[in-house]
Chains A and B, each alone.
Chain A
Amino acid sequence: QVQLVESGGALVKPGGSLRLSCVGSGFTFSEFYMTWLRQAPGKGLEWISYITSSGPAKNYADSVRGRFTISRDNAKNSLFLQMDNLRVDDTAVYYCARPAYVSGLFWGQGTLVTVSS
């Protein structure tokens, strides 16, 4: 069955960097665009980035543009999120997700990023 597994979450200091990974299985990874979303503690859901199936086109939410970079390695069924210049308000559970049924998303289980001094 379709599975997405994120990793790389950690405690990091403000201004630091972190790289998240997501491995997909149970589907042809290279055929799907992929997204990253996040959820701050006790808060709602926020879309943060998108990458096309082969990787040339990307889009970012204003809150992360210029600090985060999305990429993928289709040979390894992997999606990445490079996060630089992290801020306290970037603290959240980060999810990777795959399109499902046109308008929906299928989500991984998430990985926690905590930005604190």
Chain B
Amino acid sequence: EIVLTQSPGTLSLSPGERATLSCRASQSVGNTYLAWYQQKPGQAPRLLIYGASDRPQGIPDRFSASGSETDFTLTISSLEPEDFAVYYCQHYDSSPPRYTFGQGTKLEIK
């Protein structure tokens, strides 16, 4: 079973700064089935990135992601006040179908 480990647990930054979040898989997961979510208090997670680096329609281009095999990164180029939230990475395994999540990174205002 794949384990996703996110770091850091908490990231304290100021608006306008660049945020870099990491997600490491316990074994190679390829690119196609890696996604990132943003979750704000009291809300459902929102899909930010799919296929390791692609943005759904409506996601601002300050959000970008990269990586392959076991190491993945989510970058927010210049933080806006609404970006302070918890971020999760997620892997989809099709055989058998299941989803695995990292433990989350809390992005807080410094």
Contact = CB atoms under 8 A, between A and B. Distances in A.
Interface residues of A, number: 22
A106 B33 contact: no
Contact of B92 (A59, A95, A103): A103
A95 B47 CA distance: 14
Contacts of B37: 45, 104
A75 interface: no
Contacts, number: 71
Nearest to B48: A104
* Secondary structure type dominating chain A contacts: strand
A101 B50 contact: yes
Interface residues of B, number: 29
B44 A47 contact: no
Contacts of A110: 44
Contacts of A107: 44-46
Nearest to B31: A103
A56 interface: no
B101 interface: yes
A59 B50 contact: no
Contact of B88 (A35, A44, A59, A103): A44
Interface of B: 32-35, 37, 39, 43-47, 49-51, 54, 56, 88, 90-92, 96-104
17 contacts: A44-B88, A44-B102, A45-B37, A45-B45, A45-B104, A47-B98, A50-B97, A59-B98, A100-B50, A101-B35, A101-B50, A103-B33, A103-B34, A104-B35, A104-B47, A104-B49, A104-B50
